[in-house]
């Protein structure tokens, strides 16, 4: 994720500027502000702005006039209570804004989360850089034999090399042709004066889905937790999970009490269905329960065992 | 809007606290932060927090790495362009949080705006204060004879006095009975030890709709503009307009460039329908157009004249 | 819930009309269509329209060209899989529209669910009927001593009688005065020609919060399930739960397979937090675990026991 | 847009099935139901389901018990009034569901409209067909010289031929390699038994952005109008406008009264900003106004002239 010198300068300038504020402020997150946190081969997450802190959750839950004479332990207790009982609106009172650079095929998964504000870099208006996601060898996986939307074993040797060759060559060729179709050099002047150049809004269609795009993405803490619960999950595609894991670190830095509650009551929690509860009650009563007489399908039985034994 | 001493102290304490931040900061809005701005007889608007400024709109529109070497005139031009062409997403990148005290019947209108985060003071959990909205004499209006959802002339003399008497007496009696049903004194102890007291979630149903409630309300600038365009409009009920007008001041203080664009392209703008445009073209060609041959209904004709002459 | 004769006639006329359609149709729900299902003393739920059925969930999940040669057992399996793994978007492909009559203080809870479409009867424009919610004696509960937002024991004898007297008298007096303020008789003519009458948008503030209002409310099946999971829950206020329970019946009639999955994986399911899972693992390993050494607070311990024993 | 025989059979089977319903039904839209309406070279729009009709808008606005003894002229008047005064909630009471086949780069624009329900064909789970969007020669446009996000003149001759060659060859090669990476034949068996095949969720990244995808997309009439106002506009990219125009026909078929109001008050309407209104007032007063003394920028002046003369 090497940034261009002018990008580095812009970030440094913004980090250098300070102002006094009466707003809730989180020094640890201030320290992280604007810095690119690397993800995948060319992507990043940057925290651009935030509103609120753990105290703001408490203040909103109480609809109070000020921050009061809070003890950290009382705030933690209230926040854990709110999380446990799905009182979600106080968490909506904190807001965070990220700048994200990510491959287009991941952007297409991400955008499915509708309760967020998005400004994407426009390829109707601007020209996309020559940057593509090429998986690291350890992330080059075969199709799973058991899960139609999952990954199986790592690809190795010649097959892995061939995959990487194809991905690299196709992305590069498509981007070369994209610039050729545009007929513009970096200054915007025509490369070949005898050609008009294809409109940007059309030329972009020649790019491959691993081309990087970027956007500003802003959401509230409740919806961020929902995003992270789905995207930091083991069932999520590795590439989006890589972003979710970096974002988890930013949330832990920002609102440590809410993050702790989220970890205990969401990330580390499991849901037991009504049939699973029936099986569990029998087990706790000392009965030996097998899948065949549990009322659970094989798949649910495996999920059940993972829920009560794993974690 | 007299606040209790402990409320004033909490506000003063929060206003006194300062921190250093790298975030976009608006000194003029900092000055306004946490202070109650009076609305109606007992209501208020308080700005509790904000994210972003005019520069953040520009930065999001450009998906840029920093604030750049912006000239105010360029930013203003871009912001006006975005507003004029309904490029709404950059305005969503600014967020504001208010604490609002308002009568319940106005809260019921307000909550219809769904794209916002809300934490309302809970009358299931707490006891509502003895405060009701009683209109000032100049806002005591008769039903409009022409508009089924509008107001007509001011009520005067004996009728006005009678209205105020009824409103005051019914609200007061209902609140007295509410406390009686609860059977709690302010310390939570039973007033009458021989009674259990009705559950709070039930007792509240005895209150009148002009009882004051309060909430934290948070939204982004685009949705706030949408709210204000509808609620600062002459067709909005006076009581909600009174809140909208105070909020307009907070927005002007916060994002003066965006506010200017909003004033020119939304608040002060009119929409001409296809039939109105046809009538206007005839007028500009020198023709004398009357309602009867305009293709517009009487009501639309009046709206048309207001659009081209008024403002 | 006695309807006026003209209301009954309108419903009968709409029930009598039939048309042929190519759309997914559910005969059992057709039978229920438009009929008022009573809730509380004067409220009702009416199913006004619906889109989709269990098959439409399957079709959307597969993005298929037609309904295929489906077996019910395959559809059920897929729907249960989608529900279990939080694949929520196929459930959003079914939509239902209700007409609901409900007390205002319940409408204020209900409207907190933002992902729905609402048209409420307008008291700015029309006059509200003289109908109030008065709890049945068995629902007249004291404040809970242990849960600040719950109910305790039933009120009895003199205290109960007194509560009902107050609720009835205040609601009636406030509505009488409301009509008086309006100065309109049912034909819209002035009661007292010497008075102008207060504007409807103002007069309504004199009503109590148990006055009935009504609205059309439309949502998709996923968001309806979310609403029902919260509002049919034992922690929800009895009055809104009464509506949720009637709605559950309409959903069971409409999409029996999805309803079955919802019952097993949501309504009847429990979530075990990370600390609860740790305690459970110790118990399943044969250890005797007490609250004191469980890492759970007393309240969480009680919730834990209910989760693993109850249901 | 040639459908496979099994797809045609599924559609024919679904069109052949009929049922009786009490719901609002629109015979003209029933006739259109499920049929693919071609868009671009391989795309289509299919209406899959709908809820409500013009009468349902009226019924919701009135929160009525039945359809009443409506006259078409009264309904039209009310619907036009609602549209003109931005009373948008009654339009939300109608819902429509489409099946859309469209190029991925257009899907990325489309998905920006968040108030809709979407189920997209999953390339994590399934294999995308070998179909790409290649513009018709008359839609092959140069970059606009004046508008950074618009199109200019048509490309011709050798340059046009070259563009088409590149688009075709790159899309085809990338899709061939995609199948190669997957190492699956159409039955799911490995093409080359010595290879494992890359996971589908990874292989898809090798596709170009003009590859076709498909989704079920469902929204309410108010949000559909918002979508169409933006996407049927002359400033929208041609390719998404092609879809919007076909959808306009489906809306006209479905709710002709609402469509007429939308055409007059949205599609054919213009907004005059406060400075434009000032210029217009001077013109109507007989003054000769030039851009230089109008207070409008050159661009705004051009927009102003188009607004008052065009249409």
Provide the strand spans (E) within D112-269: 117-120, 141-143, 151-154, 212-220
Q: Is the pLDDT of residue A1 over 90?
A: no
- Please name the residues between 199 and 258 in chain D that touch chain C, using a CB distance below 8 Å: 214-216, 218, 220
Average pLDDT value for residue range A47-61: 97
- Please name the residues between 177 and 206 in chain B that touch chain C, using a CB distance below 8 Å: 177, 180-182, 184, 195-202, 204-206
pLDDT beneath 50: ranges in chain C:
none
Contact: B264, D280; criterion CB under 8 Å: no
CA-based nearest residue to A57, from C104, C292, B97, D229: B97
Mean pLDDT value across chain A: 94
C109 with C39, same domain?
Answer: yes
A235 with A103, same domain?
Answer: yes
Token pair in block for residue D54: 């013009």
Nearest 10 degrees: CA dihedral of B215, B220, B226, B228?
Answer: 50
Name the residue among C21, C90, C216 with its Cβ closest to that of D30: C21
Any CB–CB contact under 8 A between C154 and chain A? no
Q: Is the pLDDT of residue D310 over 80?
A: no
Any CB–CB contact under 8 A between D103 and chain A? yes
Alpha helices, DSSP H, located in B125-156: none
CA distance B51 to B260: 19
pLDDT for residue A236 = 94
Token pair in block for residue C66: 């037609």
| Number of domains present in the structure of chain A | 3
C126 with C77, same domain?
Answer: yes
Q: What distance in Å separates residue A132's CA from the closest CA in chain C?
A: 30
Q: Domain boundary at B171, B189, B209, which?
A: B209
Contact partners for chain B, using 3 or more CB pairs closer than 8 A, are: A, C, D
C181 burial class (0-12, 13-18, 19+ CB within 10 angstroms)? buried
Which pTM does this prediction carry?
0.96
Catalytic residues of D, by residue number, are 231
CA distance C309 to C303: 10
Any CB–CB contact under 8 A between B283 and chain D? yes
Tell me B163's DSSP state: H
Reported as type and span, the H/E element at residue A142 is: strand A141-143
CA atoms within 13 A on the CB side of C93: 30
| Integer Rg of chain D from CA | 24
C8 with C129, same domain?
Answer: yes
Span A172-229, pLDDT tens digits:
999 999 999 999 877 778 899 999 999 999 999 999 999 999 999 999 999 999 999 9
Query: For chain C, what is the HEC assignment?
Result: CCCCHHHHHHHHHHHHCCEEECCCCCHHHHHHCCCCEEECCCEEEEEEEEECCHHHHHHHHHCCCCCCCCCHHHHHHHHHHHHHCCCCHHHHHCEEEEEEEEEHHHHHHHCCCCCCEEEECCCCCCCCCCCECCCCHHHCEEECCCCCCCEEEECCHHHHHHHHHHHHHHHHHHHHHHHHHHCECCCCCECCCCCCCECHHHHHHHCECCEEEEEEEEEEHHHHHHHHHHHCCCCCCHHHHHHHHHHHHHHHHHCHHHHHHHHHHHHCCEEECHHHHHHHHHHHCCCCCCHHHCCCCHHHHHHHHHHHHCC
Determine the residue among D181, D209, D212, D241 to mutate to test chain A binding: the one whose Cβ has the most chain A Cβ atoms within 10 Å: D209
- C-alpha distances in Å from residue C40, one per residue of A142, B144, C8, C48, D108: 58, 36, 19, 20, 48
CA distance A86 to A261: 11
Average pLDDT value for residue range A32-47: 98
Q: Using CA of residue A215, residue A219, residue A223, residue A228, what is the dihedral sign?
A: positive
Average pLDDT value for residue range B37-55: 98
What is the chain C residue with the closest CA to B189? C145
Contact: C149, B202; criterion CB under 8 Å: no
Any CB–CB contact under 8 A between B307 and chain D? yes
Q: What distance in Å separates residue A285's CA from the closest CA in chain B?
A: 39
B59 with B124, same domain?
Answer: yes
Q: Is the pLDDT of residue B311 over 60?
A: no
Nearest 10 degrees: CA dihedral of A8, A14, A16, A22?
Answer: -160
- C-alpha distances in Å from residue B58, one per residue of B71, B264, C62: 11, 19, 41
Q: Domain boundary at B238, B253, B269, which?
A: B269
Mean pLDDT value across chain B: 94
Confidence of residue A287 (pLDDT cuts 50, 70, 90): very high
Q: For residue B197, give the 3-state DSSP assignment.
A: coil
Average pLDDT value for residue range B120-138: 94
CA-based nearest residue to D46, from D21, D90, D10, D94: D10
- C-alpha distances in Å from residue A203, one per residue of A24, A105, C79: 46, 18, 41
Q: Is the pLDDT of residue D27 over 80?
A: yes
Query: For A277-291, what is the HEC assignment?
Result: HHHHHHHHCCCCCCH
Q: Is the pLDDT of residue B145 over 90?
A: no
Contact C32, D5 (CB under 8 A): no
B97 with B175, same domain?
Answer: no
The CATH number linked to A235 is 3.30.1360.170
A147 with A178, same domain?
Answer: yes
Q: Which phi and psi (to 5°) does residue A262 adopt?
A: -65, -40
Query: For A156-214, what is the HEC assignment?
Result: CHHHHHHHHHHHHHHHHHHHHHHHHHHCECCCCCECCCCCCCECHHHHHHHCECCEEEE
B205 with B218, same domain?
Answer: no
Any CB–CB contact under 8 A between A307 and chain C? yes
Contacts of A173 (CB under 8 A, 6+ apart): D170, D173
Average pLDDT value for residue range D259-275: 96
Please give the angle made by the CA atoms of D53, D56 and D61, to the nearest 5 degrees: 140
Any CB–CB contact under 8 A between C280 and chain B? no
CA distance D123 to D128: 6
Residue B240's domain spans which residues? 1-133+211-269
CA distance B48 to B30: 10
B168 with B232, same domain?
Answer: no
B244 with B164, same domain?
Answer: no
CA distance C288 to C308: 15
Strand-pairing partners, residue C208, are B208
C121 with C194, same domain?
Answer: no
Any CB–CB contact under 8 A between C66 and chain D? yes
Name the residue among C153, C163, C200 with its Cβ closest to that of B143: C200
Span A100-152, pLDDT tens digits:
999 999 999 999 999 999 999 999 989 999 999 999 999 999 988 877 778 89
Span B75-126, pLDDT tens digits:
999 999 999 999 999 999 999 999 999 999 999 999 999 999 999 999 998 9
- Please name the residues between 118 and 147 in chain C that touch chain D, using a CB distance below 8 Å: 118-121
C12 with C68, same domain?
Answer: yes
Average pLDDT value for residue range D145-160: 87
């Amino acid at each position: 994720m090497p940034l261009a010198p002018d990008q580095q300068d812009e970030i440094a300038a913004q980090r250098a500027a300070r102002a006094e504020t009466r707003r809730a402020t989180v020094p640890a997150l201030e320290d992280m502000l604007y810095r690119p946190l690397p993800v995948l081969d060319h992507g990043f997450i940057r925290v651009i702005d935030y509103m609120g802190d753990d105290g703001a959750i408490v203040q909103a839950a109480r609809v109070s006039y000020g921050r009061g004479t809070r003890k950290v332990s009382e705030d933690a207790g209230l926040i854990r209570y709110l999380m446990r009982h799905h009182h979600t609106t106080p968490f909506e009172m904190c807001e965070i804004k990220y700048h994200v650079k990510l491959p287009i095929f991941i952007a297409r998964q991400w955008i499915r989360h509708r309760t967020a504000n998005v400004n994407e870099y426009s390829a109707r208006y601007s020209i996309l850089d020559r940057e593509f996601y090429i998986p690291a060898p350890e992330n080059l996986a075969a199709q799973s034999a058991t899960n139609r939307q999952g990954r199986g074993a790592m690809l190795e040797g010649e097959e892995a090399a061939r995959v990487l060759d194809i991905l690299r060559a196709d992305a590069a060729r498509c981007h070369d042709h994209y610039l050729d179709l545009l007929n513009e050099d970096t200054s915007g002047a025509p490369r070949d004066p005898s050609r008009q150049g294809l409109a940007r809004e059309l030329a972009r269609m020649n790019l491959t889905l691993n081309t990087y795009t970027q956007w500003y993405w802003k959401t509230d803490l409740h919806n961020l937790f929902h995003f992270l619960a789905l995207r930091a999950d083991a069932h999520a595609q590795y590439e989006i999970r890589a972003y979710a894991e970096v974002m988890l670190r930013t949330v832990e830095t920002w609102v440590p009490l809410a993050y702790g509650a989220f970890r205990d009551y969401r990330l580390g929690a499991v849901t037991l269905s009504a049939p699973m509860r029936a099986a569990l009650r029998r087990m706790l009563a000392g009965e030996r329960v097998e899948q065949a007489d549990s009322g659970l399908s094989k798949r649910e039985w495996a999920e059940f065992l993972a829920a009560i034994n794993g974690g």
